[in-house]
Structure 1
């Protein structure tokens, strides 16, 4: 068993690590951008694939990783784990359908509500105590799900045809025009001091430092890792200023 995750602010990392530890204490969880992720997947029959849901869809990086490694998935047993701030629709189903095209066996789908990670929007912002409650409830759900999985009962959240319709018409069609290609809207503001932390953290290698300032390419996967960690709050994506740097450690 292997856990693979994309995690910008730590939410999904925590969920995958906790679930896989409950199911198999000897198993490990690794970030999807690790150099040896493909080899690790080859060595394991069961994969827990976790990622944050973005407008009822999986992040570009996750979808691209699946498509660019088509031979990895044949006969692999996969549980898709999608974290969300509020609404996920068929967040788990998006990758489940894609993986099935490459021969994967989909064991189920799991949706876990976690604290909001969109740092430059007021939407969904809550107090630290409210977010701590969300994390406690998420942990309780993971513990319950792990017990059910041990009995052979896998969750089916987000992978039914009803979930597909809810995700498609609830969010994805509305946002589709903005997400056909990699977003190029990552903004670096004047307060940037060129410390290079964002370039180090970016899983897409989308940020570089030039003339003492951070420069963004067009391959942002919207993980919010750089925005949540920038010491100057100098990076935004959907909004014009950072409202809150949303790191999982604040709530746990």
Structure 2
């Protein structure tokens, strides 16, 4: 069984590729997490988890869900992480998570996809994003081939910098950076509610037709990226940056 969590579509695209190639069911973790559904799941022997990289590890909301959810009959797990540049030392923590689930760890694959973290980094225009996606195709195909053959993914590169990123910076990132407070909405908002419907943590509600953010934010960037009016900003950091969501590349 394939599990996918996605903010702006990169992981969802990769997960669809895996599902088509492996003829395996695809489970949307956004919906599971949104509804706090941690009921046991009949997964079959193999589990493939496909997620974005948040501060050089898998999203905390995903690891929390995994720990709470029983995987009936599961034996092996592969981790696939897309990122804007690198995944750091995420493999170490994925291995620990597999051990907690009593699953055989089959490795972590890194796939570089277009950057979506508009709160801190530059996001690409559509043409550049399309080029990045095309460049990622061999890595997607190689990861699929490894799973088809029942092979472990090759061990990703690891060094002191990566260990600092995933081990030291990650906790500070969640403590200091992952906040919804800087989100704001301009007069261009049409009150469509797209931001609230896309939020995987039910952290947005409409009041008088305008979005209001709560305290349970995971910084998936779905709200700002899917706003059809481009009415949402993240403080001053997002001003003037293109909004990235994978589906625009398929339009």
TM bin, normalised by shorter chain, reads 0.7 to 0.9
In structure 1, the residue matched to 2:179 is: 183
Q: Which moves more between the two structures, 198-207 or 183-192? A: 183-192
The structure 2 residue matched to 1:146, chosen from 129, 144, 147, is 144
For the pair 1:196 / 2:193, whether they are aligned, the reply is yes
| Shift, 1:109, TM fit | 1.0
Is the 1:10–1:249 contact (alpha carbons within 8 Å) kept by the matching residues of 2? yes
In structure 2, the residue matched to 1:229 is: 226
Distance verdict in 2 for CA 1:58–1:212, change over 3 Å: same
Q: Secondary structure at the match of 1:179?
A: helix
For the pair 1:129 / 2:119, whether they are aligned, the reply is no
Is the 2:199–2:222 contact (alpha carbons within 8 Å) kept by the matching residues of 1? yes
TM-score scaled by length of structure 2: 0.83
Q: Secondary structure at the match of 1:9?
A: coil
Ranges of 4+ aligned residues in structure 1 off by more than 6 Å: none
Q: Could you tell me how far apart the structure 1 residues matched to 2:6 and 2:28 are?
A: 7
| Shift, 1:129, TM fit | 3.1
Is the 2:90–2:166 contact (alpha carbons within 8 Å) kept by the matching residues of 1? no
For the pair 1:212 / 2:245, whether they are aligned, the reply is no
The alignment's C-alpha RMSD in Å is 2.8
Structure 1 stretches of 5 or more lacking a match? none
Distance verdict in 2 for CA 1:124–1:220, change over 3 Å: same
Q: Could you tell me how far apart the structure 1 residues matched to 2:127 and 2:192 are?
A: 32
CA deviations over 1:157-192 (Å, ceiling 9, x no partner): 44x8x36x5433136523532314863435122333
Is the 1:51–1:58 contact (alpha carbons within 8 Å) kept by the matching residues of 2? yes
In structure 2, the residue matched to 1:17 is: 16
